[in-house]
Amino acid sequence: MKKILIAEDSNTMRSLLVSTIDSLEKYEIIEAASGFEALRLLPREQVDLIITDINMPDINGLELISYVRNNPNYQDIPLFIISTESSDKDLEKGLALGANEYLVKPFDPLKLQELIGTYLG
Amino acid sequence: MTGVDNAIGKAAKDFLAEAEEIIDQLSLDLVALSDCADGGDFNPDLVNSIFRGAHSLKGLAGMFGFTDIAELSHNMENLLDSLRLGKVSLSQNTISVLFESMELLGTLVQSAGTADRQLHDISQAVARISSCVCAVQKEESVSPLAKLGLSERVLGSLTEYEEHRLLENVKKGRRIFSILASFSLATFDQDLGELTDVLKSAGEVISTLPSAGGGLESSINFEILFGSEKVSAEVTALIDRDNITVMLLGGESPSPPAEMQEMVPSLAPEASMTAKSMSRTVRVDISKLDELMNIVGELVLSHSTISQLAGRMRLDGYSAPSIELTKAAKGLERKLTELQKGVMEIRMIPVGQLFEKMARIVRKISREQGKKVELKMFGADTELDKLIIEDISDPMMHIIRNSIDHGIETPEKRILAGKDEKGVIKLSSYQKGNHVVIQVEDDGAGIDIEKVKRKAFEKGLIPSLDIQDREALDLIFLPGFSTSDKVSEISGRGVGMDVVRTNIAALSGMVDVESYPGEGSSMIITLPITLAIIKALIISSVGRTYALPITSVLETILVERKDVRTVEKKEVIQLRENTLPLLRLGKFFETEAHGGQQENFYVVVVGAAEKRLGMVVDDLLGQQDIVIKSIGETFKGFKGISGAADLGDQRTILVLDVGGIINEAVRGGA
């Protein structure tokens, strides 16, 4: 089963992401409530896809993307940003850092499922 | 897609809970921010935290289609964004607009929970927010960041806010340092936490950029941007660690620019505002509700007096006025019951709030312990008195800590035992008569009964190893008992399950434990729904009058002297298929050594959780509503008394703590 790491500090948003993906019944989900936790989980789990928020305490989403893209172990993992439309500049930076896709909150569950399918099959 | 739809239904509930939590936090932060501003201070962390709150709320509300909440928080977010990026200064007017918007948000979220939700008009609030944002639009500042010589990688991963903070630090003439640290992957969070704590005491941590360490599998590097007034040598001395290097960016000490951005709140003229509050809710101090409840209690007592009086009048032959008085008293009773119910309902909050708190604790502890734990909640809408919920949260937390610390095994051990590597803690709550039961179950290793027995024996808590398993389990509640092989930071020493039991008993509650070796254990907490007014059975024993909470009374029976047998020096009777131990209150309280010479006497069968006891009493005096009053710290040590109550005829009697008496009796063999 392929593994998806979700880094998102809002419990509700995270559980919404989880249930959206869970309903596909195809993937294992690893939850991180902060960028920090994501950093800790990455080496422990063989992650196939990362979905991250941008605004998080401690390590923010951009820093996480930069870390992932500059680490030979993880640089090929597909990565989606999920953030609000207000942080345009941050979103651009995220894409520049190498995020593959972005979704704007409130996100469309079907769109997310479709994107995941495209990347993970 | 029904899976997703269902999940969204549940998530909508989560949303409300989280939204309320966010708003509570926002209000606190806002008060702190306003206090800061009053002192002429500007706290960027607070503004950022409020911004993040509004930001999350917007995203969440949008997700669930609460357009008004989303729009209002979106506008607040704009204002806060301008504030944190220094585009708008923090004036009194801005603060009051923020407060007002927050209050409206609270109202919106509350009404989001109701079925017939109506859209609120938020246009006025939005207009006021916009006027703040437009008021001061500062021109974009030219970036002086270039001369810092930041790498592309660092610049590329700064969020807009971090960039702004960097600029602010430069403007204030602070030195900007790049601090490179290399940590082991196993301990980096603690190490980094310690480092940032030290740094924060001497300046501002602007960003923390992680990068792969030399050994990809074992280490991780961080590049921290740090702004401070200190010089390189001071910062280096402050950190004093080998694996950390400090580098000053952009050369030594730039002098503070002339146009320094002062963030002192300016007292802008108050914008036209209505004095009318937009909120439909009132926040009330719980002590006011307590007072109200006390008055209701006194009224209940007065009613009892009137009823008794009516009864006496009838006996004295004034039957006509007695009947009228009885009728009036009945009417009064009905209204009193409604009043009592009303006041009680105000105090009731769903157990879910407590569960949410526990969810955070579970996450935290399981992370610290390196265990995987999933929390499941059931019956979160069961309601309990707010005060009880507050007082139960510490014992609950301790039970949960114990479950994770001692119960749930490490992922490796769980896999070996053929279990899912993720442990499950199940919190459930339901109402049972006048009680609410809260159950904490885990699917861990269960309690090692043999180990418990040995430990208790070694500590001299039991005379021999020959005791029933059921009784052995109860030993964990004895003071000073702990089976942990090593002292854990989590369960600690000192505080044990005995404190949990004492705290729960102080709420007239009971805690019981069940354990299934290899399958898990379960703590069952039984609590009264409210502590305020209870129905009691008034009894007399050896010349004294006591009140017994009716919720603990199972039945009363008339027993003949000859039916009493003695087993192991304890008096017992046969009650249907069970043996019921008897307790003489005179002996228990050591007010009278012997008694029970009568041929027939009443036994009140009381029970708490799964335990039963027969109390020998001289007489049953009747049922009555009583208000339990505390008897103060001095008498707190007395076992078996939970408080005192006024009977309404100038007599004050003691209220028995059934749970406490049963525990004492079972242990001491009274």
ipTM of the complex: 0.82
Per-residue pLDDT at B648: 65
Residue ranges of A 33-72 with Cβ closer than 8 A to chain B: 33, 36-37, 39-40, 43, 54-55, 57-60, 62-67, 70-72
Among candidates B52, B62, B78 on the partner chain, residue whose Cβ is nearest the Cβ of A105 = B62
Residue A79 has pLDDT above 90, yes or no: yes
Give the pLDDT mean for B462-471.
81
Note whether B444 and B403 are within 8 A (CB).
yes
User: With an 8 Å Cβ cutoff, are B207 and A11 in contact?
Assistant: no
Sequence spans of domains, chain B: 2-135, 146-249, 286-349, 351-528, 533-668
> pLDDT by residue (tens digit) across B610-653?
778 899 888 888 888 777 777 766 776 677 887 888 776 667 88
Residue B528 has pLDDT above 70, yes or no: yes
Note whether B173 and B257 are within 8 A (CB).
yes
State the pLDDT confidence band at B531, using cuts at 50, 70 and 90: low
Residue B288 has pLDDT above 90, yes or no: no
CATH code (residue A50): 3.40.50.2300
Fold assignment, B351-528 = Heat Shock Protein 90 (3.30.565)
Q: How far is A67 from chain B (nearest CA, A)?
A: 5
Per-residue pLDDT at B2: 46
Number of domains in chain A: 1
State the pLDDT confidence band at A63, using cuts at 50, 70 and 90: very high
Per-residue pLDDT at A51: 95
Residue B278 has pLDDT above 50, yes or no: no
> Whole-angstrom Cα distance, residue B529 to residue B300?
18
Q: Which residues contact B296 (CB under 8 A, 6 or more apart)?
A: B336, B339, B340, B343, B532, B533
> Whole-angstrom Cα distance, residue B41 to residue B263?
7
Q: Which tokens in the block code for residue B217?
A: 């599998």
Write the CA distances from B628 to B275, B299, B458, B533, B652, integer angstroms: 43, 14, 41, 7, 11
Q: How many helices (H) and strands (E) does chain A have?
A: 5, 5
Q: How far is A70 from chain B (nearest CA, A)?
A: 7
A92 interfacial to chain B (CB closer than 8 Å): no
Per-residue pLDDT at A48: 94
Per-residue pLDDT at A81: 92
Residue ranges of A 94-113 with Cβ closer than 8 A to chain B: 96-97, 105-107, 109-110
Task: Tell which wins on pLDDT, B488 or B569.
Answer: B569
Q: Which residues contact B448 (CB under 8 A, 6 or more apart)?
A: B483, B517
Per-residue pLDDT at B476: 84
Residue B427 has pLDDT above 90, yes or no: yes
Fold assignment, B146-249 = Alpha-Beta Plaits (3.30.70)
Q: Which tokens in the block code for residue B211?
A: 């990068």
Per-residue pLDDT at B471: 81
State the pLDDT confidence band at B270, using cuts at 50, 70 and 90: very low
Residue B128 has pLDDT above 90, yes or no: no
Beta bridge partners of B553: B606
User: With an 8 Å Cβ cutoff, are B63 and A13 in contact?
Assistant: yes
Burial of B33 per CB tally in 10 Å (0-12, 13-18, 19+): buried
User: With an 8 Å Cβ cutoff, are A15 and B158 in contact?
Assistant: no
Q: How far is A89 from chain B (nearest CA, A)?
A: 7
Per-residue pLDDT at B489: 42
Task: Tell which wins on pLDDT, A21 or B59.
Answer: A21
User: With an 8 Å Cβ cutoff, are B209 and A67 in contact?
Assistant: yes
> pLDDT by residue (tens digit) across B186-217?
788 888 888 888 888 888 898 888 887 776 67
What's chain A's length in residues?
121
Among candidates B7, B81, B156 on the partner chain, residue whose Cβ is nearest the Cβ of A97 = B156
> pLDDT by residue (tens digit) across B130-158?
887 775 544 444 566 777 778 777 888 88
Per-residue pLDDT at B546: 92
Per-residue pLDDT at B276: 47
Mean pLDDT of chain B: 79
Note whether B182 and B213 are within 8 A (CB).
yes
A75 interfacial to chain B (CB closer than 8 Å): no
Q: Which residues contact B670 (CB under 8 A, 6 or more apart)?
A: B583, B587, B588, B664
Per-residue pLDDT at B439: 94
Per-residue pLDDT at B493: 38
> pLDDT by residue (tens digit) across B333-385?
889 888 888 887 888 888 888 888 888 778 778 877 888 888 888 888 888 88
Pick the CATH number of B2-135 from 3.40.30.10, 1.10.10.10, 1.20.120.160, 1.10.760.10: 1.20.120.160
Mutation target vs A (from B29, B56, B420; most A CBs, 10 A cutoff): B56
> Alpha carbon B364 to chain centroid distance?
15
Per-residue pLDDT at B494: 41
Domain span holding position A53: 2-120
State the pLDDT confidence band at A3, using cuts at 50, 70 and 90: very high
User: With an 8 Å Cβ cutoff, are A11 and B18 in contact?
Assistant: yes
Segments of B506-564 assigned E as strands: 510-516, 520-528, 533-541, 544-549, 553-560
Q: Which residues of chain A neighbour B185 with C-beta distances below 8 Å? A: 40, 43
Please name which of B232, B229, B249, B253 lies closest in space to residue B176, comparing C-alpha atoms: B249
Note whether B408 and B422 are within 8 A (CB).
no
Mutation target vs A (from B1, B2, B4; most A CBs, 10 A cutoff): B4
Q: How far is A90 from chain B (nearest CA, A)?
A: 6
Which of the residue ranges A50-59, B192-201, B359-368, B585-594 would you say has the lowest mean pLDDT?
A: B585-594
Residue B30 has pLDDT above 50, yes or no: yes
Question: In chain B, pLDDT over 90 holds for what percent of residues?
Answer: 4
Task: Tell which wins on pLDDT, B593 or B2.
Answer: B593
What residue type is B516 in one-letter code?
Answer: Y
> Whole-angstrom Cα distance, residue B358 to residue B72?
30
Write the CA distances from A83 to A13, A61, A101, B74, B361, integer angstroms: 11, 10, 11, 13, 27
Note whether B530 and B573 are within 8 A (CB).
no
Q: How far is A30 from chain B (nearest CA, A)?
A: 11
Handedness of CA B557, B560, B565, B570 (dihedral sign): positive
> Whole-angstrom Cα distance, residue B100 to residue B622?
54
CATH assignment, B533-668 = 2.40.50.180
